A and B are shown apart, each in its own frame.
Chain A
Amino acid sequence: MSAVRRAKASGHPGRDAFSETWNEPTGFPGGMATVDNFQIGVRFLVTSFSFFLVAGAFALLMRVQLARADNDFLGPDVYNRLFTMHGTVMMYLFAVPFQEGMAAVLLPWMLGGRDLAFPRLTAFSYWVFLFSGLIFFSGFLFDAVADVGWFAYTPLSAPAFAANGIDFWVVGLGAAEVAGIAAGSELAVSILRLRAPGMALHRMPLYAWAWLATAVMIVFAFTTLLIATLLLELDHDLGTRFFDDQRGGNHLLWQHLFWFFGHPEVYIIFLPATGVVSMIVGAFAGRIVGYTWIVVAILLTGFLSFGLWVHHMYTTGLPELSLYFFAGASLMIAIASGVQIFAWIASLWRRRPVLAAPLLFVLGFVFIFVLGGLTGVMVAVVPFDLQVHDTYFLVAHFHYVLIGGAVFPMMGGVYYWLPKFCGRMPNERLGKWSFWLTFLGFNATFFPMHVMGLLGMPRRVYTYPASLGIEGYNLFATVGAFVLAAGFAAFVINVLYALRYGAEASQNPWGGDSLEWALPSPPNFALYPRLPTISSRHPLWQQETDSSLDHPWQHVVEALDHRPEEWRATLLVDMISGEPQAIARLAQPSYMPLVASVGIVLVTVGTIAKLFLLIPVGVLISVAALFKWHWPSRTELELMRTSSLPKETGLPIFTTGSNSLGWMGMLFVVAVLGWSVGTLLYSYFYLRLYSDEWPQGGLPLPDRLLPAAMFAAIGLAAAAFGWAWSSFRAAHKLRSMVGLAAGIALLASFLVVHVVQLSREEFTPQTNAYGSIFFVLSWTVDLVVLIGLGMAAMTMARAWLEGKHWQLFLALSVQMTAHYGYFAAGVAAVVYGTLYLSPYGI
């Protein structure tokens, strides 16, 4: 593929240089350094689909076991591991990463940028994802596979009951979350800032809208789970007491945190799929009506999905009033989903569409998803859920929602975009076969499960007695599962067939409206050597009427045609209006993402194998790689400085604040850290709410004064960084450096005193849940401070080395340090108030 995609030499020297700059290393080991969104996206797709096939095979084994009553094909140990891994792999290693891979490829194509915002982060995300999958599966080599379910309820997953398989599960999951958060942040920034000139928010393809909501949801939902799994792993490795009910821990805390992630997760999987559906419906119907309705529905779904988590906990004995709050919110989701469904039907009303494979999968999606949505409303009804919760009715419901709501659109999407990926068409006849086998097999497998649940079959049972009268349904479902598997096999064969023998595809075989259909198939590395201009919602349909020469940003596009030649850049636009704001540099290929992810692997291996010395080694490698990754190349900086593009376009290259990708990236780092702190604060007050005494175990109230002085140092450091930034803007380099140095000194002294103070507390993280949350919150402050120290130190080091152009090159660094400092001060204030003041009152 790389040979095809190598940018074609045009005989024009500038163009050759441009192509050379954008060429990606291939082969081994060069390919390991690639940062190209297409290559990495395809890696995501292939890797996650492989995981899907393995988890699907697990499901077939489970169906064989359940085909007969009192069957002993697998036995409980194997069965329980398989259902745990099936759910875990499908949710964490397939559903989200597959769609992230698709988004990584499609979003720059659709939005008209030359790559994603943080190309190296794309690579990092992939490597961490790949390693997380390998960690999950390596449990099989050591006969240490988790058997606690994908939801890992405590105390079954806590130290008292869980075997060592849980380490592979928790640590693998932690890595998968890091990968997901990285991808989510990157996609959000890319959608917000890297669009073609003129692509205002209201002209953005619906797929991008769906991903904008999803990416933000990923950041918050995955961070919550990251903290939950961290607490669980600390219970295992450090002996903390978060989930030890004898020592003040609370099992419902896990359920709250897990479902605060787990419910949005369903919509994280579903929303991008609705984006795919909107694109396919648009192409096949030749229009999309209700664009604004769909956008509002997407945002409403994303927002509401965070207010539903308790509907997974109706049977835990929570107060009924609170249940009805969540039931109400759950039912409102029906409106958001209904709007999208009816908008698609209204769009299709236009003409008799060709029933090609992509549309067939969309129609199958509507059929299945409407059924799954309706049973979803049923299970949100509190009394009915008391019966069907944790039964096969639920298994049926969520497979309708997840396979119908996400896998069908994904398969349709693969058929739809495959011609763009490889320049060849899938086989239509085989496509129809794959659809009907999948559709019929799916319904045959999962429809009877509704009935099985109502007849009293609980979930997660490895066997059932013949006397329950559910054997016939089970046998039917097992047969259906093999038909479904045949459908997936036909799909795989079709894709492989298309890659090699497919008929040559035209540029826009389905008549799509979005920008990617104007690209060659497959596109060049730089995607858009000449950036497109946008003046409508459907650029490809309105090409003829659109006289692009009149476009207000024509001169910018002309200036950037096959330029800059020696460094990678794309346009950064205003979030709302899509007007160009700056020329954004994009990173070159690098091995550092791989090295940083290897550092993370060392941390995970150290955790699993209890070789705790490996952990600091891994952290050190990752941090070093991160510094090298972000250290700008001097030659590149010089090229950027001397570029004539700002003069020609009127757009800056060196920017600060929200007009710079770096600052946007930091915004997401701060969001992740802030949300982590928020999750821990929630845990603190949750534990306190269900404790008879606080502090627990008769511990004394914390001292208020010394910590106040200590935490105030963080505020002073923030003030020093702020002063450094204002001095910087006033062109006082020396004062600015003094400010940074003062801040560094303050933060460092905080760390030293804090560590000493913690070591002198009369309790430890192991004492009780109060001690655990106290220490973990304190360490989180330390982490926030350390990151600030790192940023300030890197800025100072660069200031030391930069010559006369320091004002140009360093502005962003100093500004980010200052803004991060404010955030750190905020965290310090809130944590101080919680740990040291709240026990006295509130």
Chain B
Amino acid sequence: MRIAVAQWHVGVALLAAVFLAGCAGESNQSAMDPAGPAAAEIAWLWWIMFWVFTAVFVLVMLLLLGALYGKRDRSNDDQAQPPLGPNGFIVAGGFLLPIMVVTPLYLLSLKTSASIGPPREALTVRIVGHMWWWEVRYPEQDIVTANEIHIPAGQPVRLELASADVIHSFWAPRLHGKRDLIPGVENVFWIEADEPGIFRGQCAEYCGTQHANMAFQVIALPADEFDAWLAERSNPAVDPAVAQARRGFEVFMSAGCAQCHAVRGTPANGNVGPDLSHIGSRQMIGAAMLSNTRGNLMGWIADPQAIKPGVKMPRTYLDGDSLLALVVYLEGLR
């Protein structure tokens, strides 16, 4: 059991490393690094449980070591009894200890649940899960976008969750826990970010081939910037000014893109893939897989299957000029 104890130290060290590291990676998705009130409450609960349960675990292991190696009255070696006698020991450890730990925890979790309840009034965003991307709608403002959820910082946002195909689960760990998107069920959830920033999230319910790459970003903006964003997004796409972009629009309409994608203000109104009305201003493509650069966009359009095998978008067969023109057009949709 000596090595068992050493192993335990390794465990504590591992967790301590996380604790100290705090911010884990550049696109941090850590539930222990909360950036919103609900996530903060849950993280607090976690640390309480962590320390209490660590104490319980150490206690049980010490008792086990005591049972194996504890000092014995040599004369009576074969009949040694645990502290409090066998029955007292079992009652204390098996009944009282769990009850003493679990009862306050239960009450605490009720309190946490109450304090992370949904807000009364808030901006509503409708999220529709698709295999394997997120449709994002602002019903009151008549805005449709995808994979990037812009919200005002410091304000709660109400989420209506629905699914277009199978079950998904919405999870932005730094803002809140998760809630499922179930076909035939209308679920409601909410998030809030304390400060402006970008918070990554991803689907947490297995939903098929590309479940792993069904991510999104919550982009919290200062209130005034958010209002400006809303205003800007309500406008339809403007006709492209550059000739190359106009050529790109023709490619878009003729190569089949428009059958699945919509661009507001044009005849393109497909609803199989994400709405592209403002694709040019998105930070990422492919459901938060790749940054939205010209190279990535061209690569994606040319062969999405190579990047995200199984994705519903087929590869396209465009010559270089057409592809470049298409990308220039898309970049102009801001």
Contacts and interface: CB of A to CB of B under 8 A. Distances in A.
A340 B98 CA distance: 12
Interface string B205-221: 11111111100000000
Given A328-B106, A387-B42, A463 B112 contact: no
Given A331-B105, A349-B67, A448 B179 contact: no
A461 B213 CA distance: 8
Nearest to B77: A351
A286 B78 contact: yes
Residue of A320, A355, A465 contacting most chain B CB atoms (<10 Å): A465
Contacts of B109: 327, 381-384
Given A293-B94, A386-B178, A469 B185 contact: no
B229 interface: no
Interface string B148-185: 00000000000001000111010101001111101111
B1 A363 contact: yes
B187 A317 contact: yes
B139 interface: no
Contacts of B309: 75-77
Chain A interface helix/strand/loop/mixed = helix
Interface in A345-386: 345-353, 355, 363-364, 366-367, 370-371, 374-375, 377-378, 381-386
Contacts of A290: 86-87, 90
Contacts of B81: 346, 349-350
Contact of B3 (A156, A331, A436, A447): A436
A455 B105 contact: no
A80 B213 CA distance: 13
B183 A251 contact: yes
A470 interface: yes
B88 to A, nearest CB: 9
Contacts of B207: 156
Interface stretch (A388-396, A491-499, A533-541): A388-396
A342 interface: yes
B57 A387 contact: no
A658 to B, nearest CB: 34
A328 B189 CA distance: 24
Given A289-B86, A377-B105, A76 B310 contact: yes
A529 to B, nearest CB: 36
A339 B64 contact: no
Contacts of B256: none
A317 B68 contact: no
Nearest to A149: B206
Contact of A370 (B60, B185, B206): B60
Interface string B4-35: 10010011001100100100111111111000
A316 interface: yes
Contacts of B188: 317
B14 A455 contact: no
A386 B205 CA distance: 12
Nearest to B131: A161
B56 A345 contact: no
A363 B178 contact: no
B311 to A, nearest CB: 10
A467 B27 contact: yes
A387 B72 contact: no
Contacts of B92: 342
Interface string A265-307: 0000000000000000000001001100100010000000000
Interface stretch (B45-53, B242-250, B264-272, B315-323): B45-53
Contacts of A455: 18, 24-25, 29-32
A343 interface: yes
Interface in B290-309: 309
A391 B87 CA distance: 39
A338 to B, nearest CB: 4
Nearest to B178: A315
Contacts of A342: 63, 89-90, 92-94
Contacts of A469: 21, 24-26, 28
Contact of A155 (B94, B165, B171): B165
Nearest to A350: B80
A245 B105 contact: no
A381 B45 contact: yes
Contact of B169 (A75, A315, A366, A377): A315
B112 A383 contact: yes
A389 B31 CA distance: 12
A352 B72 contact: yes
Contacts of A450: 15
Contact of B42 (A297, A328, A386, A459): A386
B66 interface: yes
A451 B182 contact: no
B204 A458 contact: yes
Contacts of B166: 153, 155-156, 161
B169 A251 contact: no
B75 interface: no
B63 A448 contact: no
Nearest to B177: A386
Nearest to A72: B309
A76 B101 CA distance: 42
Contacts of B177: 315, 383, 385-387, 389
Given A341-B94, A370-B57, A386-B178, A76 B210 contact: yes
B18 A381 contact: no
A390 B169 CA distance: 9
B29 A468 contact: yes
B208 A388 contact: no
Nearest to B4: A367
Nearest to B1: A363
B93 A341 contact: yes
Contacts of B39: 387
A222 interface: no
Given A153-B167, A345-B89, A463-B212, A77 B310 contact: yes
Nearest to B208: A156
A491 to B, nearest CB: 18
B78 A350 contact: yes
B238 interface: no
Contact of B90 (A343, A436, A468): A343
Contacts of B57: 370-371, 374
B86 A245 contact: no
Contact of B212 (A76, A340, A385, A456): A76
A443 interface: yes
Contact of B98 (A155, A286, A338, A387): A338
Contacts of A349: 66-67, 70, 80-82, 89
Interface string B99-117: 1011001100110110010
Nearest to A79: B212
Contacts of A779: none
Interface of B: 1, 3-4, 7, 10-11, 14-15, 18, 21, 24-32, 39, 41-42, 45-46, 49, 53, 56-57, 60-61, 63-64, 66-70, 72, 77-82, 86-87, 89-90, 92-95, 97-99, 101-102, 105-106, 109-110, 112-113, 116, 161, 165-167, 169, 171, 173, 176-180, 182-185, 187-189, 200, 202-213, 289, 309-310
23 contacts: A76-B209, A76-B212, A160-B165, A289-B90, A316-B187, A338-B93, A342-B94, A346-B82, A348-B64, A348-B67, A349-B82, A352-B72, A363-B68, A378-B46, A383-B41, A384-B49, A439-B7, A456-B200, A457-B29, A461-B212, A467-B27, A468-B27, A469-B24
Given A343-B90, A347-B86, A466-B25, 6 more contacts: A76-B310, A153-B206, A293-B87, A315-B205, A338-B94, A455-B24
List the 9 shortest-distance A-B pairs measured between CB atoms, nearest first.
A386-B177, A469-B25, A456-B29, A245-B184, A339-B94, A342-B93, A461-B212, A469-B24, A289-B86
Interface of A: 75-77, 80, 147-149, 153, 155-156, 160-161, 245, 249-252, 286, 289-290, 293, 297, 315-317, 320, 324, 327-328, 331, 334-335, 338-343, 345-353, 355, 363-364, 366-367, 370-371, 374-375, 377-378, 381-391, 436, 439-440, 443, 447-448, 450-451, 454-470
